[in-house]
A and B are shown apart, each in its own frame.
Chain A
Amino acid sequence: MIIVCLGFIALVPQILPVVHINMLIEIAFFSLFAVSYSMLFGYGGLLSFGHAAYFGIGAYTMALLLKHIAGIPLLLLLLMGGIGGGLGGLLAGFFCVRLKKAYFALLTLAFNQFFFAIALKWRSLTRGDDGLSLKRPDLYIPGLGTIGMGKIAHVYYLVVAVVLLCILVQWYLTKTPFGNSIRAVKENDERADFIGYNAFFTRLSLFTISAFFAGIAGSLFAFFQGFVSTGVIDAHMSMQVIFMTFIGGVGSFFGPILGSAVYLYFTDWVSRVTERWEFVLGVLFILLVLFARTGLIGLISMRRLKGLVGLGGKGKAV
């Protein structure tokens, strides 16, 4: 199964037209964004309304470093995007994770607006609405030489490789004692505290890690699009990642990947059919929340494919 998937992913640039490769690249980095969000919300139980802040910080970090400092290797740039997002997450998380439920959600939204306002108003740095354009840098690997990023297939392979690596790291984290401590704190933070877990620190770490991966997703966005404006950091972007996660399925680790694929293809298709594509999306979201809270993954498991797919549904004990 995994080998078939990897084989397909590897062959894509050879068999699909460019339009679809572009689409798949977008799906890849939005998948990473959605998985990072799902770690926070689905896995850690922290409903954030402002995850675009860290995606945006990652994108701006990439763009600004490229513009002002020459010669930083591409992979380091991507990492710096992640670190930028992570630092933003550490700062906001320090205040947010003290709060619970609605108060937490509102404060994350407030921080999102705060970072958005900086991006919009600090024109000398970010050029506000006009945005920053950047030239896509090439990848230099010692011993192998330079790989040009003019070719879309190369961009595709790089983005997919980085995304897969990042998702794998997050998946691994869920299998470690650290992942277990996140579950314990989500389940019962008071009890966790009384057997020696530091609930605050656990939540803050999760928030920071999630923001780090959102930042990498953002820097991949900047790298691919070659353009960064306030659209990467606004409330609409935060909504998008919530959509993707919900469509795929909140409770499952891999659901958000499916969610981002469906979301992007669906919006692409609907927006070609009607100008009012956001209306259609809104209706879809309402139906989803009312009738299929476990998302597409949940629907799949309901149709008894659970055993085949092996991703489980809601209410599964851990």
Chain B
Amino acid sequence: MKILELINVHKDFKGLKVLKEVTLSIEEGECHAIIGPNGAGKSTLFNVITGKYKPSQGRIFFNGKDITGIAPHKISRRGLARSFQIINVFPQMTVFSNVRNAILSKKKIRFNPFLRLEKLHDIYEETMRIMKIFGLMEMKDIPASELSYGQQRALEIGISLATDPKLILLDEPTAGMTREQTREAVGLIKNVTKGKTLMMVEHDMDVVFHIADRITVLYYGEILASGTPDEIRKNERVRKAYLGKKGDA
């Protein structure tokens, strides 16, 4: 079943065509990687899907329903989560509160003015469970801004996953990491997203060919190719445009 479907999506920024004729679908349960050189429009694609930008043309369907141009919080509530390329957490809140924000949202009591936060034991348990999965238990009570880079990355993904989404979009989850950290992060991602549908932008080809079931290559706003890792590896156009240049990967 198609969980996400983009039909002929365009995005112009004042005449600059960043996305052109993007038609793409994500199957339920797969891990789909988007690759492409810098400026290919990968982040814009994520921003269009998650509602930060409205597409100039085309339609986007999530879970069979049209979500073109609706607000980010509404898309999130339907079960589409994202993480960010630049770390984007709640810096002055504790790690615990960061994760709890997502849990409160998932349980649909984010706006409740009557309940006392301290008395919500199920929320507490759930938050602890997520923190345990992401190895953040020891950092529970310190502000997110004081975590190490790798831990902030883990928290970043943790917040996105804590909302228990049907589809999760990861924007360069290993950006700025060392080899060692990347290996750990990949292990973590594989672990926590088991059985979930995943769409990710990634620069690190090792990571991509290691975890993706399907790969889509974006090249100057257009889809160059889409297929299994093997198909992509063999694709002539992709080799010419992108993979051939060793330094880029």
Binding site for B on A (CB under 8 A): 172-173, 175-181, 183-184, 187-188, 190-199, 201-202, 205, 315, 317-318
Which residue in A172, A181, A183, A317 is a CB contact (below 8 Å) of B111? A181
Q: What are the residues of chain B within 8 A of A183 when measuring CB–CB? A: 90, 93, 97
Total B residues in contact with A, Cβ cutoff 8 Å: 40
Which residue in B50, B97, B101, B118 is a CB contact (below 8 Å) of A192? B101
A178 to chain B, nearest CB (A): 4
Which residue in B76, B88, B100 is a CB contact (below 8 Å) of A196? B76
Q: What are the residues of chain B within 8 A of A188 when measuring CB–CB? A: 88-91
Report Cα–Cα, A317/B101, bound state, in Å: 14
Report Cα–Cα, A173/B113, bound state, in Å: 6
- Which residues of chain B from 100 to 125 have any CB-CB distance to chain A below 8 Å in the complex? 100-102, 104-106, 109-118, 120
Inter-chain contact A176/B114, CB cutoff 8 Å: yes
Inter-chain contact B111/A196, CB cutoff 8 Å: no
Which residue in B73, B102, B114 is a CB contact (below 8 Å) of A198? B73
Most-contacted residue by chain A among B77, B90, B102 (CB, 10 A): B90
B141 near A: Cβ within 8 Å? yes
Report Cα–Cα, A149/B206, bound state, in Å: 80
Inter-chain contact A187/B160, CB cutoff 8 Å: no
Inter-chain contact A176/B117, CB cutoff 8 Å: yes
Inter-chain contact A195/B76, CB cutoff 8 Å: yes
Which residue from chain B places its CB closest to the CB of A201 in the assembled complex?
B111
Which residue from chain A places its CB closest to the CB of B90 in the assembled complex?
A187
Inter-chain contact A176/B113, CB cutoff 8 Å: yes
Inter-chain contact A180/B97, CB cutoff 8 Å: yes
Known contacts A176-B113, A176-B117, A191-B90: does B142 contact A317 (CB below 8 Å)?
Answer: yes
Inter-chain contact B111/A178, CB cutoff 8 Å: yes
A-B contact count (CB 8 A): 103
B92 near A: Cβ within 8 Å? yes
A255 to chain B, nearest CB (A): 18
Which residue from chain A places its CB closest to the CB of B88 in the assembled complex?
A191
Inter-chain contact A184/B90, CB cutoff 8 Å: yes
B37 to chain A, nearest CB (A): 26
Report Cα–Cα, A196/B110, bound state, in Å: 9
Q: What are the residues of chain B within 8 A of A175 when measuring CB–CB? A: 116-118
Q: A181-B111, A318-B92 are in contact. List 17 more A-B contacts (CB 8 A).
A: A173-B113, A175-B118, A176-B114, A177-B112, A184-B90, A188-B91, A193-B71, A193-B72, A194-B50, A194-B82, A198-B71, A201-B111, A317-B92, A317-B94, A317-B141, A317-B142, A318-B93
B163 near A: Cβ within 8 Å? yes
B143 near A: Cβ within 8 Å? yes
Known contacts A191-B90, A193-B72: does B109 contact A177 (CB below 8 Å)?
Answer: yes
B136 near A: Cβ within 8 Å? no
- Which residues of chain B from 56 to 73 have any CB-CB distance to chain A below 8 Å in the complex? 71-73
Inter-chain contact A196/B163, CB cutoff 8 Å: yes
Known contacts A187-B92, A318-B93: does B160 contact A195 (CB below 8 Å)?
Answer: yes
Which residue from chain B places its CB closest to the CB of A209 in the assembled complex?
B113
Q: What are the residues of chain B within 8 A of A199 when measuring CB–CB? A: 73
3 closest cross-chain pairs (CB), A and B = A178-B113, A196-B105, A187-B90
Q: What are the residues of chain B within 8 A of A315 when measuring CB–CB? A: 92
A176 to chain B, nearest CB (A): 5
